[in-house]
Amino acid sequence: MIRKFISRVLSGKKNRPGAPTPAVIPVATHGISRDRISAGSRRVCETLQEQGHQAYVVGGAVRDLLLGVEPKDFDVATNATPEEVRRAFRRSRIIGRRFQIVHVMMGQEQIEVTTFRGELGDDAKKDEHGRVLRDNVFGSHAEDAARRDFTANALYYDPAAETVIDYHHGVGDLKAKTLRMIGEPKSRYREDPVRMLRAVRLAAKLGLVIDPEARRPIREMAELLENVPAARLFDEMLKLLTSGHAVKCITQLRDEGLHHGLLPLLDVILEQPLGEKFVMLALANTDERVRQGKGTSPGFLFAALLWHEALAHWEKLKAAGEPKIPALFQAMDMVLDVQAEKLAITRRIAADIKDIWLLQPRFDQRAGKRPYSLIEQPRFRAGYDFLLLRAEAGEVEMEVADWWTRFQNADGPERAQMLLPEPAGEKKRRRRRKKPASATAESDSPPAAA
């Protein structure tokens, strides 16, 4: 508590004496006017500045605007403590354990506000591999910039003055299309191994080249990702796969040696010609949806990534004599249990994955009443889109996918004409099916007296 109090006092309104002098870039040079900043983040900055604090839009939003990319969200950095930020905004709450942040609601917009971080002390709580476990030490503006991961992310925008504050030549690195680490790369990766994944994602998304000094240690330090909590690893993988550049990300993950152990079965999938084509089609489809501003489904995406492993287990179980559907249930559990060891796939997403997989064998049933019941299923559309993907990859006949496309769009009489004849064996099984015992008893009992 004493150390935290001293850290807050020393953070002050200005940087400490001897701190590096940042480049202050005017709007005439960088071209970002305040009207390109979200109304919510502008208001957060203005409110904190009016109360005597420093406050800036920071990180990815500034980086993206400099590159001509529309930011997804706008974060704010300040020298106000989390408690001071919470008191300044009625609709706000403090979250986080590793490092406290404040979520401020401005209308429908949620702004993430972080207090300037200070230098890591020798007593910072770390695991045996050097990963920082707790980091609630606050500091100056210059210290906060030094604690950022890449120079491109250590950029601050002041909406009041319309200036960009650059401590680490981040603007120059962006112009040179280079992603450069702040500080010694090995130490920074050890503090937070997820930075290796982030380097790949940002390089692929923004068309940057990872600086050789930052790239060199990645392959040898990849095993540090084994120590990252599964939930955090899942969040980062989801960002990577829904970045709009998933194909490039997966390719670069493989090039950097980072795919092993992240999606443990992805290695096998990418080594199967049919599996690789299917996965790349799914990723390309997701990238296109992101570029068009359409929504994406994590459940559908992970169902595609893991399908061929589930398929391989399913075939083995059927070959061993397991009935078709029970074998599919076993295969699904086997695949998702392995994933759970590395990625904390949420229950909701896991349920979506299973629903999509379970619908696939039902698309083979195009006789009787079963097609009618299938198109009424809540997850039919996702299952149908998955079937189209399988057909495009050459896994199932395109004729099957075309039939379901026509069937769902046809009217009643046309649907009835499209139904295939029921297999002879199916008809016999229906005729031999016994009536329920209660029904038999009722039929054998004498009629009730009038």
In terms of Cβ atoms closer than 10 Å to its own Cβ (0-12, 13-18, 19+), residue 420 is: exposed
**Is 379 within 8 Å of 328 (Cβ atoms)?**
no
Q: Can you name the CATH fold of 285-422?
A: cca-adding enzyme, domain 2 (1.10.3090)
Residue 294 or residue 15, greater confidence: 294
Q: Among 100-109, 117-126, 187-196, 378-387, whose mean pLDDT is lowest? A: 117-126
Q: Pick from 6-10, 239-243, 432-436 the range whose average pLDDT is largest.
A: 239-243
3-class DSSP state of 105: strand
CA distances from 351 to 53, 303, 332 (A): 46, 10, 11
Active-site annotation, residues: 73, 75, 149
Does the pLDDT of residue 3 top 90, yes or no? no
pTM given for the model: 0.78
Contacts with 150 (C-beta within 8 Å, 6 or more apart), sequence order: 170, 179, 180, 181, 182, 198, 199, 202, 214
Rounded to whole angstroms, the Cα distance separating 276 from 439 reads 53
pLDDT above 90 coverage of the chain, percent: 61
Beta carbons within 10 angstroms of residue 100's beta carbon? 17
- Residue ranges per structural domain of the chain: 2-176, 285-422
User: pLDDT of 285-294, one tens digit each?
Assistant: 999 998 888 8
User: pLDDT of 117-166, one tens digit each?
Assistant: 987 655 555 565 556 555 668 899 999 999 999 999 999 999 999 999 99
The pair of three-digit structure tokens given for residue 184, joined into one six-digit string: 């010694």
CATH architecture of 2-176: 2-Layer Sandwich (3.30)
pLDDT of residue 78: 97
